[in-house]
Amino acid sequence: MTWELPIIFICSAGSLVFAWGLARWVLGKDTGTPAMKAISDAIKEGAEAFMRRQNRTILFLAALFAAILFIGYGFVRSHHDFDPVSSSMTLASWITLSFVFGALCSVFAGYIGMWVSIRANIRTASAARSSLNDALRIALRGGAVSGLLVVAMSLLGVAGLYALVNAVSHVEVTKIPLLIVGYGFGASFVALFAQVGGGIYTKAADVGADLVGKVEAGIPEDDPRNPAVIADLVGDNVGDCAGRGADLFESTAAENIGAMILGASLASYAGKAGMGFSAGIVGVMLFPLVARAFGIIASIVGIMSVKMDREEKMDPMQALNRGYYIAVVLAMAAFGGTSYWLLNSPAAPQAWWHFFLCGVLGVLTSVAFVYITQYYTEYKYRPVQSIAEASKTGPATNIIAGIGVGLECTWMPALVMGAALLGSYYLGRASGLPHAGLFGTAVATMGMLATAAYILAMDTFGPITDNAGGIVEMSQQPEDIRRKTDRLDSVGNTTKALTKGYAIGSAGLAAFLLFQAYMDEVVQYAGLGEGFAFRVDLSKPVVFVGALLGAMLVFLFSAMCIRAVGSAAQAIIQEVRRQYAKLTRVNDIIQFPADFKPDYGSCVDIVTKSALQKMVAPGLLVVLSPIAVGLTFKVFINPADKLIAAEAVAGMLMVGTIVGILMALFLNNSGGAWDNAKKYIETGAHGGKYLTGADGKKTKNPTHGAAVVGDTVGDPFKDTAGPSLHVLIKLLSTITLVLAPLFL
């Protein structure tokens, strides 16, 4: 008996049980004062209403797409001898089934993550009244529920489908991944709409609330007098947690399947060259899943070891970092052991540790991404300070400086990613096995994603602490409690920025792996045999045009996301202005009557409707573009070039990915830098928030006003378009994987 599948099932099922335990632990905590509860309930209600409506729309679209997929594979495409199964109908059934299963799991993972986090927020807020350590742990463990659930479910889904196909059909094991690629695509499909919809929701509310609240009315963030404030807090949950959960769910799912395809092809090459692995083809193919399973356990240990020192004076970020390092070290140790176990080829004794080094390279890459993100988005460093400095001459120079920083920040990640790709490729080549370069890049991606559960826990920590801060602020708790939640909130902002850097880095590495899986698949489906070299030759006009369209797709998609936020935010602004219209102003500052009660519900309604309506077009654009290119460019197929349409799609995919990565870096980091430039000024730099005149009168500091403009512009950049581009990149890969046979 082989141990791979049992280990995978035990670890992932165990993690789900553990997540359930964590959720119970979090839910058992105190829920604070009635005032806090009222606010938390309002958030919960808004978030659940939105999620319900959003999931209904997404599931409808997914069902539609599943039907098209089934018809396309089952009836339109005719059966070929070299198909992995014996009939069109069987192929269609497996692909559609895995698509539907992936979509359902992704919806479920996103929903549960949000369900816990909208309950963890008030418990974090309440705990902050007594102990910062407790608050930190509640927020992190609340986040961990989401993190563990996402990663374990994605693993369980892939392994379960694999085992199912293996049990009920007679397919050659190495071809099973071709049947279950739909799982990753189903997950991406849901992730895209969830991230776009949630991203539009969160930023439309945030931009609207900021512009009228902070700038026009001069009231602080999360002030209860702002009618858009509840919508803003709801947005943190539906955009940041649910969206990111679905995003990382599909990252790990797609990457697992892609790596399985490459592992199977490596092992079969090696076998033919007489250099077979001791663990067999199945062992190599399941290597990614086993490594991931151990990674989850490592992440659990890391999460449980996070705590503050006794006096609570340490930086909470330091506590989180310590947990992360523990998780990384354990995960790497397990990675090394698994490499030795499953990637051992007696004929190439040095192979296993070459692959292990690829994994280490992946981890180092993720660390580099984290440091680069910090440099470009924290106010200790030159970039953010230059934006703050530029704010002195008004909003226009603030914007110019921020866009400059955003465009500039792409250079280091591009170099690091290039070095990681080439490094792992050449490490793989040096392993002594034939065709092992690409598997090397795949292993680097696995290394990077080994601690995905921990990273996702830190990411969801962000919206939980953000919400906790909002609840404390709105329920008007004493200053020292606010200071505690502010500390956690600021750490949450950092973790959110860092995980975005991590997500984009892993998307970049994973994409290269998925390209190769796509190319492998095209060759297999075209029945061209393993020796055939499928190229993506940009110098062919058809491929070049595919590439041009891929790059354009990124621009157009970003435009649609950004414009959606802009127009939804305008609706919010008009609504808040309407509610404020009758209040009196002194010296341009609104004088709120003591009994002022804003209408939160109207803002929640407006933004829910807009987000649901506006998420459809960008989502469909991404899903339909590669299909349109692949099918249209079939007219260029000729006997000398049978794969030209598939090649054009590959050009689209690869260049779309390159541009998507750079555009996401631009959007994420310029947004983060603007945000922190504003915060830097709020710490007192360049005059702070208010200026005091010679007569002692307080006036708004125009430098701060200029920085708020930049912060607002950055909102849809960093929280709508940027993270949605991560999903776009991966969706392009998974959709082409699933639809490849249709382009032949």
3-class DSSP string for 676-722:
HHHHHHHCCHHHCCEEECCCCCEEECHHHHHHHHHHHHHHHHHHHHH
Please report where in the chains the tokens 């938390």 appear, as a residue.
Answer: 40
Least distance (Å) from a copy of itself to the CB of residue 555? 4
Give residue 348's region: left, alpha or beta (phi > 0; psi -120 to 50). beta
Using the rule CB under 8 A, is 215 a contact of a copy of itself? yes
Residues 354-393 that bind a copy of itself (CB under 8 A): 390, 392-393
Establish if 65 lies at the interface with a copy of itself (CB under 8 A): no
Q: Taking the complex as a whole, how short is the minimal distance between the CB of residue 720 and a copy of itself, in angstroms?
A: 10
Q: Which two tokens stand for residue 571?
A: 């609706």
**Residue 330 within binding range of a copy of itself, rule CB under 8 A:** no
In whole angstroms, the minimum distance from the beta carbon of 210 to a copy of itself comes to 8
- Based on the shown chain and the rule CB under 8 A, indicate whether residue 347 belongs to the binding site for a copy of itself: no
Contact 563, 190 (CB under 8 A): no
687-716 binders of a copy of itself (CB under 8 A): 708-709, 712-713, 716
Figure out which of the listed residues 13, 76, 559, 628 binds a copy of itself, where binding follows CB under 8 A. 559
Q: For a copy of itself, what does the binding mask look like between residues 652 and 691, x meaning CB under 8 A?
A: --xx--xx-xx---x-------------------------
Under a CB-based contact definition with an 8 Å cutoff, are residues 493 and 459 in contact? no
Q: Which stretch binds a copy of itself (CB under 8 A): 5-13, 269-277, 458-466, 650-658?
A: 650-658
Contact status: 562 vs a copy of itself (CB under 8 A): yes
Among 547, 607, 612, 707, binds a copy of itself (CB under 8 A): 547
Taking residue 497's Cβ as centre, other Cβ atoms within 10 Å add up to 26
User: Rounded to whole angstroms, how far apart are CA atoms 591 and 600?
Assistant: 19
Stretch that binds a copy of itself, among 64-72, 120-128, 247-255, 570-578 (CB under 8 A): 570-578
Considering beta carbons, is residue 181 or 560 the nearer one to a copy of itself?
A: 560
Query: Per CB under 8 A, does 649 bind a copy of itself?
Result: no
Task: Decide if residue 202 touches a copy of itself (CB under 8 A).
Answer: no
**Amino acid identity for residue 599 in this structure:** D
Whichever of 184 and 406 has its CB closer to a copy of itself, that residue is: 406
532 makes contact with a copy of itself (CB under 8 A): no
Comparison of 108 and 580: residue with beta carbon closer to a copy of itself:
580
Query: Which pairs with CB-CB distance under 8 Å and at least 24 residues apart come from 22-26?
Result: 22/141, 22/142, 22/144, 22/145, 22/148, 23/116, 23/145, 25/141, 26/116, 26/119, 26/120, 26/123, 26/138, 26/141, 26/142, 26/145
Confirm or reject binding of residue 566 to a copy of itself (CB under 8 A): yes
Contact criterion met (CB below 8 Å) for 249 and 314: no
The yes or no reply on residue 499 touching a copy of itself (CB under 8 A) is: no
**Binding range to a copy of itself, per CB under 8 A, among 38-46, 327-335, 490-498, 513-521:** 513-521
Q: What is the largest CA-CA distance in the chain?
A: 88
Phi, psi of 268 (to 5 degrees): -75, -35
Instruction: Tell me: does residue 526 bind a copy of itself (CB under 8 A).
Output: no
- Cβ closest to a copy of itself, residue 153 vs residue 654: 654
Do the beta carbons of residue 207 and residue 577 sit within 8 Å? no
Q: Which of 512, 525, 600, 680 binds a copy of itself (CB under 8 A)?
A: 512
> Given candidates 42, 298, 549, 615, which one binds a copy of itself under the rule CB under 8 A?
549
If the CB atoms of residues 279 and 549 are measured against a copy of itself, the closer one turns out to be: 549
| Tokens found for residue 259 | 């790596």
Residues 95-154, interacting with a copy of itself (CB under 8 A):
none
Shortest distance in whole angstroms from residue 515 CB to a copy of itself: 6
Site string for a copy of itself, 605-644 (x = CB under 8 A): -------------------------------x--------
Q: Which of residues 713-742 bind a copy of itself (CB under 8 A)?
A: 713, 716
Residue in 24, 535, 578, 597 binding a copy of itself, rule: CB under 8 A: 535
φ, ψ for residue 348, nearest 5 deg: -135, 75
Q: Count residues near a copy of itself (CB under 8 A).
A: 78
Residues 6+ apart with CB under 8 A from 34: none
Q: Which is nearer to a copy of itself, 563 or 609 (CB)?
A: 563
User: How far does CA 655 lie from the centroid of its chain?
Assistant: 20
- Return d(Cα 203, Cα 211) in angstroms, integer: 12
Q: Indicate which single residue of 377, 558, 669, 733 sits in contact with a copy of itself (rule: CB under 8 A).
A: 558
Q: Which residues in the 387-446 window bind a copy of itself by CB under 8 A?
A: 390, 392-397, 399-401, 403-408, 410-411, 414-415, 417-418, 421-422, 425, 437-438, 441
Is 323 among the residues that bind a copy of itself (CB under 8 A)? no
DSSP letters of 168-180? HS---GGGHHHHH
Which CB atom, from 166 or from 397, has the smaller least distance to a copy of itself?
A: 397
* 277 near a copy of itself, rule: CB under 8 A: no
Q: Where are the alpha helices (DSSP H) in 2-33?
A: 4-27
- Minimum Å distance from CB 263 to a copy of itself? 18
CB 51 within 8 A of CB 111: yes
The reply on whether position 556 binds a copy of itself by CB under 8 A is yes
Nearer to a copy of itself, 76 or 415 (CB): 415
Interacting residue with a copy of itself among 375, 544, 592, 596 (CB under 8 A): 544
Locate tokens 């992995």: which residue?
A: 84
Per-position DSSP letters for 283-301, written without gaps between them: HHHHHHHHHHHHHHHHHHH
The C-alpha atoms of residue 457 and residue 137 are separated, in whole angstroms, by 11
Nearest to 516 by CA among 414, 650, 365: 650
Lay out the site mask for a copy of itself across 574-603 (x = CB under 8 A, - = otherwise).
Answer: x-----------------------------
Contact pick of 258, 651, 672, 741 for a copy of itself (by CB under 8 A) = 651
How far apart, in whole angstroms, are the C-alpha atoms of residue 621 and residue 555?
12
- Half-sphere exposure in the Cβ direction for 592 (13 Å, CA): 16
Task: List, in order, residues 6 or more apart from 205 with CB less than 8 Å away.
Answer: 228, 231, 232, 234, 235, 572, 603, 607
To a copy of itself, the closest distance from the beta carbon of 592 in angstroms equals 21
For residue 199, count CB atoms less than 10 angstroms from its CB and return exposed for 0-12, middle for 13-18, buried for 19 or more: buried
